Amino acid sequence: MFTTTTPQALITDILAITDEESYGRIDNDLACAWINNELTTLWQWGRRINRDAFTKVTGSLVMPAGASTMSMTAAAPAGAALTDWASPRGVDVATSTNNWRKLKLYNFVTRDHVGLLSYRFVGDTLYLLPPDQAAVYAFRVWYLFAAPQVSASALDAAISIPDGSDEYIKQGVAAKIRVKLDDDPSPHLALQAQSRREITATLATNHGDQITIADVMDEVGPELW
């Protein structure tokens, strides 16, 4: 459901559809800032339609000896070193080789239950509770990944975007260019709206299980023993 492109490819097409290839009125820094705006918006509504499409899972992680917390964005080995972290979806632990079991969310009411391993997140920091069990099992984290961000200093760096969303991004930036040049942005906005409908249909057709807030609150993960 995802494809790759580069900032340079997007900018080249954007300048072509706005007839700006020869004028030099739109520099790469501005174009990249506008592309990043469109990417952020795309991720916001895309995840509302199909969170599974925007979900990743880490490899096997191990809590350092004596620790019970780990930052998802800090450098390894103390952290998971995730550069695209957005928010958590769940945590599994390995009770044996390749045997992963879902952990339950920490519940303050059951804080005195000895032997019931659970997890909670505060910001990007994972807490495994009780602390004396945190380093016993390898674990992995499922998370929503953030939108890529492009830079004028890395125009040839590949980014991964949902299928068909290059048109959404290009038309959105083209509309911003028209506004900046005191031109009519409506043709580009109409094409962007059409692209959004197509992307929405694709994401909605290929969605998986979408857990709700109620599901999270009622979740009753298994004890490990």
Which range (14-23, 81-90, 144-153, 207-216) has the least confidence? 207-216
Burial readout 32-50 (b: 16 or more C-beta within 10 A, e: otherwise): bbbbbebbeebbeebbebb
pLDDT of residue 225: 34
Please say if the pLDDT value at position 69 is more than 70. yes
- Give the span between the Cα atoms of 208 and 217, in whole angstroms: 20
Query: Which tops the pLDDT comparison, 115 or 203?
Result: 203
> For residue 215, is pLDDT > 60?
no
Ordered DSSP codes for 63-128: PPTT--EEESSSPTTTS---SSEEEEEEEEEEEETTEEEEPEEP-GGGTT-TT--EEEEETTEEEE
Q: What is the mean pLDDT of the chain?
A: 90
- Per the CB < 8 A criterion, the answer to whether 69 and 131 are in contact is no
Q: For the segment 124-159, what is each residue's pLDDT rounded down to a tens digit?
A: 999 999 898 899 999 999 999 999 999 999 999 999
Residue 219: is its pLDDT beyond 90? Answer: no
Q: What are phi and psi of 100, to 5 degrees?
A: -100, 135
Instruction: Specify burial of residue 200 (Cβ count, 10 A radius: 0-12, 13-18, 19+).
Output: middle
- The model carries a pTM of 0.86
Give the model's pLDDT for residue 222.
40
| 175 pLDDT more than 80 | yes
- 3-state secondary structure (DSSP) of residue 212: coil
Containing 145, the helix (H) or strand (E) segment is strand 139-145
Average pLDDT (187-204) is 96
Residue 116 pLDDT > 90: no
Rounded Cα gap, residues 126 and 119, in angstroms:
7
